[in-house]
Chains A and B, each alone.
Chain A
Amino acid sequence: MKEETPTLKKAFTKSLMSFISITPMLIAVMGLVGLMQIYVTPDILSTFFGHGSLADTLVGTLAGAISMGQGVISYVVAEGLMEQGVSHYALSAFILAWVTLGFVQLPAEASVFGLRFTFYRNILTLISTIIIAYATVLTVGALS
């Protein structure tokens, strides 16, 4: 079968249609992100820490996963937590989880890529985040 060569106009139309098809999902995610930013404030997040490095790492991962917003905010929050004495393990996990995990966008991810992919990817990301947080702190400690 001969492969059809799209014109630039057709390619744009197809791309636009494909994007429009996911707009309900994007609007829903943005709506939830807006609510999360109002209800899950840095002050609330900081109250979850302070229970030892292992517990704090898990808390950091979960707190990062439920928080949404610009990545730079995670550093501002992390700086405040660092001043409160929260461990580097927890802070690394928090920053990593902020950008790689997102409970709010799980339904959107599942509707685009399917439940199986979303499940495995997020479990792997969760595990990777905790391992990287520990491995980084231990490696830096050994090297310096």
Chain B
Amino acid sequence: MKIQFKGIKFLIIVLVLYIILLLSDTTHALSGLQKAASILLSLLPLFLLIITLTALINYFLKPKQIIKHFGKDSGAKGVFYALIGGIISHGPMYAWYGMLQDMRSHGLKEGLIAVFMYARAVKLPLLPFMVDLFGLLFTIVMTFYILIAAVLQGKVIDTVEKKQS
């Protein structure tokens, strides 16, 4: 199986940036490198989870089923799944790109990717922090608006996609 790597140019740019910083600002560059390594280590379990989740989706959901549940005609059910997925998904957004890319190649519509991405603004483990900082009413209202915005973003992205295709 041939692997087509993504982001090679981006990686080269970042490497060049690090080389320049290592020469000009060694202390900060090394600290940055250390931070990056600790981020990588902390994300390894999440990466493993995402690889497993993607494999299970591939195994249990045939492309036809992905189209049915998350494709053009998935309707409100697809939006609901994307909202729930976004809310419960953990870790940084870029960690989920691989799974979303895989599902998109099987028919996941772009509007649902946008719904998933914006619904991630509702961070369940962080809700107590928000309540503590802004209060319960504020947290409930903001969560409500986030979910509405997520659905609207999905609609707009789908409309743009329809117009372009």
Chain A contacts of B47 at CB under 8 A? 19
Please tell me if A44 contacts chain B, counting CB pairs below 8 Å.
Answer: no
Chain B contacts of A23 at CB under 8 A? 5
Q: Complex Cα distance A25/B94, Å? A: 9
A contacts, CB < 8 Å to B = 3, 5-8, 11-35, 37-39, 68, 71-72, 75, 78-79, 82, 88, 91-92, 95-96, 99-100, 102, 105, 107-109, 111-113, 116-117, 120-121, 124-125, 128, 131-132, 135-136, 139-140, 143-144
Select one of A13, A120, A132 contacting B149, CB under 8 A. Answer: A132
The answer on a CB contact under 8 Å between B94 and A15 is no
Q: Complex Cα distance A4/B117, Å? A: 31
Q: Complex Cα distance A105/B95, Å? A: 11
B interface size (C-beta, 8 A): 76
Select one of A15, A19, A33 contacting B36, CB under 8 A. Answer: A33
Chain B contacts of A27 at CB under 8 A? 11, 14, 40
Q: Complex Cα distance A117/B138, Å? A: 31
The answer on a CB contact under 8 Å between B33 and A82 is no
Chain B contacts of A120 at CB under 8 A? 156-157, 160
The answer on a CB contact under 8 Å between A3 and B62 is yes
Select one of A105, A107, A125, A140 contacting B138, CB under 8 A. Answer: A140
Query: Nearest Cβ distance between residue A40 and chain B, in whole angstroms?
Result: 11
Which residues, 100 to 155 on B, are CB-close (under 8 Å) to A? 100-102, 104, 110, 113-114, 117-118, 120-121, 123, 126, 129-130, 133-135, 137-138, 141-142, 145-146, 149, 152-153
Q: Complex Cα distance A28/B98, Å? A: 15
Top-6 shortest CB links A-B: A25-B7, A34-B36, A34-B35, A15-B55, A11-B59, A15-B54
Using CB atoms, name the residue of chain A closest to B2. Answer: A17
Chain A contacts of B110 at CB under 8 A? 113, 117
Q: Complex Cα distance A132/B18, Å? A: 37
Q: Complex Cα distance A95/B10, Å? A: 27
Please tell me if B24 contacts chain A, counting CB pairs below 8 Å.
Answer: no
The answer on a CB contact under 8 Å between B157 and A121 is yes
Chain A contacts of B135 at CB under 8 A? 140
**A32, A38, A92 interface centre (most CB from chain B within 10 Å):** A38
Please tell me if B23 contacts chain A, counting CB pairs below 8 Å.
Answer: no
The answer on a CB contact under 8 Å between A100 and B113 is no
The answer on a CB contact under 8 Å between B93 and A132 is no
Query: Nearest Cβ distance between residue B28 and chain A, in whole angstroms?
Result: 5
Known: A12-B55, A105-B94, A113-B110. A136 touches B118 (CB 8 A): no
